[in-house]
Amino acid sequence: MRPSAASSPEPAPTGTEKPWENQPPERRYGFTAGIAGGVMLGSSAGYPNDALKIGYERYYTETGVGIGGGGSAWIGAALTDWLVFGLGGGLSGMIAGDASTSTYSFMFHTDVFPVYWLGGVWRDIGVNLDTGFALSSTTPSGEETTLIDGGGSSRIAFGAFYEGVRLWKLSMGPWAYIDYTWSSSVRQPGFYLGWRTALYTKP
């Protein structure tokens, strides 16, 4: 005699479902664009971008710690409430003693909201990673002589931010950021503190 279908055991669940991973977007989704900027502290050390000068002490310059400002802008897509990818660019300017440093960068931009699942204000706390390349040069103030020229340098940056201030589809808040630019002719760290604003077209 066969057991009835009603008495058959239910299949065991294949895994633990996390509702926050599958629920409709609440904070961010679709096209996004953003801008971040503020004051910076940084320094630059290196050589002119000339194979005949790189590595020789007589051509080496260290600016010491300088102050300035900088920031970045990007466009991209929010794939979920907690993951954003984009492309962008940045610029910064710094004065240290009698030397001026200018930097222009291109970057692949990633935002992650690692504690989104906790809910509440935690849904608006994020970290970001930018990777790409930069063009950096240092000159004496008021002169055209190049003391440090990074050429096409590598660049990596990490940031942390809070975007709980909301207005229409804009999310904004304080932002902290560190970056490092390097090549055979330059070493250039920077620290930024300022404000970040992001547009999310959905929901």
Say how many domains are in the chain.
1
Measured distance CA(148)–CA(79) in Å, rounded: 40
19 lies in some domain: no
What is residue 1's predicted lDDT score, i.e. its pLDDT?
47
13 lies in some domain: no
10 lies in some domain: no
Q: What is the CATH number of the domain that holds 187?
A: 2.40.160.20
Burial of 9 (0-12, 13-18, 19+ CB in 10 A): exposed
pLDDT in tens, 80-132: 999 999 999 999 999 998 999 999 999 999 999 999 989 889 999 999 999 99
Q: Which residues of the chain have pLDDT under 50?
A: 1, 4-6
Domain that holds residue 178: 32-202
Burial of 127 (0-12, 13-18, 19+ CB in 10 A): middle
Among 165, 5, 21, which residue's Cα sits nearest to residue 81?
21
6 lies in some domain: no
What is residue 5's predicted lDDT score, i.e. its pLDDT?
46
40 lies in some domain: yes
Measured distance CA(13)–CA(135) in Å, rounded: 54
1 lies in some domain: no
What is residue 197's predicted lDDT score, i.e. its pLDDT?
97
Helix, strand, coil tally for the chain in percent (to 5): 10, 60, 30
Measured distance CA(173)–CA(185) in Å, rounded: 36
66 lies in some domain: yes
9 lies in some domain: no
